[in-house]
Amino acid sequence: MLDEKTLKKLLLNFHGPGGRYAYFPFRHDWSITFDGSNPRDSWSTLFSENMRLPDGQSTSSPLTIDLYLHLPFCEQLCTFCGCNIAVTKDHQVERPYIETILRELDYYRERLGPLTVNSIYFGGGTPNFLSPENLQFLLQGIFSKIATSETFFGTIEIDPRHLNPEFVAVLAQYKIKRFILGVQDLDPQTMANVNRPQNLSVLEKSIETIARIENYFLSADLIYGLPLQTQDRVMHTITELSRLPLHAVSLYPLAQAFWQKQHQVAFGQFSTYSPETMVQLFLRGDSVLKEHDFQSVGFGHYFRTAHADSKIILEGRGARNVSGLSPRLTPYLLGLGVGAISTFPNLYWQNQRVLEQYKRQIGGTDGHPERAHLRTDVQRFFGTFFEKLICQKVASNALIDEAESKYTLPEKNLHLELLAQLHVHQILTPTEDGIQVSELGTYFMKSICQAFDPYFLGRK
């Protein structure tokens, strides 16, 4: 590996705007908006014609799916937040929202037939905004309607400030044992400035609660680039975290959304950092994580092998969807809740993103999502190609040849030029049968994806 100074220089050289490969799906073409202008904009026809695999797989066999549930409620707004949320302290909102989600599940069961669920993921908002009783009502409602696969697993995003043992006990009862803690930073001043008062003792308490259940998996999300953060503070936060029984950490750059500045200025001090400072903050965090046995798999995700799930991902046997990297996933992700995205092999769609409109989408007789997209053959091919590159860190010569056959001439020249740069810096290294992402290459996953992405190459 390179020394820090050279790595910093290289990261800055490759720095630039580009595709959202860290997210899923990578790109939202959203060619269908149901505004009456598209001849195929009848949602029920579109869905029934495109809900199964493109190879004509039988529609009578039970479908195994992954489920994503969006629970948007938060008691307080964190000013850096870029999620689809509804801020309220009124917990009366829980039950009607859950009832809407269960109705939405019925809608799909009527059309897809019997379902088996391979995994469930709760995102938000704050999923643990729900009371244990309402969580039980939700899970009972789901699992009375659909069966679970033998290898079923469940994951939930947790705000450590609001976790109680009864809530965790209900999750464990339904085999939901993977926890992603929203930590962001442990410095009290930094956190107070973004309207999220939180400290180490709150985090330790919630981890103690989780650690009582058998075979739990624990990950923490951190952000670098928050106002008031310094290199020392980032290092201190990660040093403290590394002592805790975490299996994974995600270190994300602060997402720059246009509304954040408004919120931040209203609540506290606002500052943005230069690319040099952002890279330096990232490298400080990265070095502490590595000192504590975390290994990078790219896009800011780090794992350590104290858990079988970490091993699967570090060995390149994982998969990814909208919920990030997981041990195993199906090609069918069904998203329930406001703004949730579903991705099927032929089609992806996003529910209405405004809560009241989502309720109308599910409650009405002719409700439809906000937007959708029919995948082309080329998009399906590159979806699979990037999945392999990001999870397994390899691409065979046969796959590369097929990718290159899809570029037009100016795109192909740029692709070859970018590929050559990646080889010169040993970000990609040759294998007998193709290429692999080197250890250094995990820092440059976005640049690697861009070098193959016909959309990026065509726009340059």
Residue 141 DSSP class = H
What is the rounded distance in angstroms from the CA atom of residue 350 to the CA atom of residue 352? 7
User: Pattern of binders to ligand SF4 over 404-433, x per CB under 6 A?
Assistant: ------------------------------
- To 5 degrees, how large is the angle CA 216–CA 219–CA 223? 165
Question: Is the CB of 128 or the CB of 450 nearer to ligand SF4?
Answer: 128
Whole-number minimum distance, CB 17 to ligand SF4, in Å?
24
Per CB under 6 A, the list member of 2, 12, 53, 77 interacting with ligand SF4 is: 77
Whole-number minimum distance, CB 83 to ligand SF4, in Å?
4
Q: Which of these segments, 31-39, 88-96, 119-127, 248-256, binds ligand SF4 (CB under 6 A)?
A: 119-127
Whole-number minimum distance, CB 88 to ligand SF4, in Å?
11
Four-residue CA torsion sign, 350, 352, 355, 361:
negative
Residues in 258-317 that interact with ligand SF4 by CB under 6 A: none
Per CB under 6 A, the list member of 74, 191, 347, 422 interacting with ligand SF4 is: 74
Whole-number minimum distance, CB 194 to ligand SF4, in Å?
9
Q: What is the maximal distance between C-alpha atoms in the chain? A: 61
Whole-number minimum distance, CB 110 to ligand SF4, in Å?
31
Per CB under 6 A, the list member of 12, 83, 354, 394 interacting with ligand SF4 is: 83
Question: Is the CB of 50 or the CB of 79 nearer to ligand SF4?
Answer: 79
What is the rounded distance in angstroms from the CA atom of residue 394 to the CA atom of residue 438? 10
Per CB under 6 A, the list member of 25, 125, 335, 339 interacting with ligand SF4 is: 125
Whole-number minimum distance, CB 80 to ligand SF4, in Å?
7
Residues in 170-189 that interact with ligand SF4 by CB under 6 A: 182
The number of residues that bind ligand SF4 (CB under 6 A) is 11
Q: What six digits make up the tokens of 146? A: 């659909």
Contact 279, 12 (CB under 8 A): yes
Q: What six digits make up the tokens of 303? A: 């794992």
Q: Which of these segments, 74-82, 256-264, 352-360, 433-441, binds ligand SF4 (CB under 6 A)?
A: 74-82
Only one residue has tokens 């391979």, namely 118
Q: How many helices (H) and strands (E) does the chain have?
A: 17, 19
Long-range CB contacts (within 8 A, 24+) of 310-313: 310/217, 310/247, 310/248, 313/391
Question: Is the CB of 125 or the CB of 345 nearer to ligand SF4?
Answer: 125
What is the rounded distance in angstroms from the CA atom of residue 131 to the CA atom of residue 92? 10
Q: Which of these segments, 103-111, 123-131, 141-149, 238-246, binds ligand SF4 (CB under 6 A)?
A: 123-131
Four-residue CA torsion sign, 432, 436, 438, 439:
negative
Is 160 a binding residue for ligand SF4 by CB under 6 A? The answer is no
β-pair type (147-158, 176-184): parallel
Per CB under 6 A, the list member of 11, 69, 81, 312 interacting with ligand SF4 is: 81
* 182, HSE (Cβ side, Cα atoms, 13 Å): 23
Per CB under 6 A, the list member of 104, 159, 185, 221 interacting with ligand SF4 is: 159
Whole-number minimum distance, CB 84 to ligand SF4, in Å?
9
Per CB under 6 A, the list member of 10, 22, 32, 85 interacting with ligand SF4 is: 85
Residue 93 DSSP class = G
Whole-number minimum distance, CB 198 to ligand SF4, in Å?
10
What DSSP line would sit under 300-348, residue for residue? Answer: TEEE-TTSHHHHHHHTT--EEETTEEES---S-EEEESTT-EEE-SSEE
**Residues of the shown chain interacting with ligand SF4 in the complex, contacts defined by CB under 6 A:** 74, 77-78, 81, 83, 85, 124-126, 159, 182
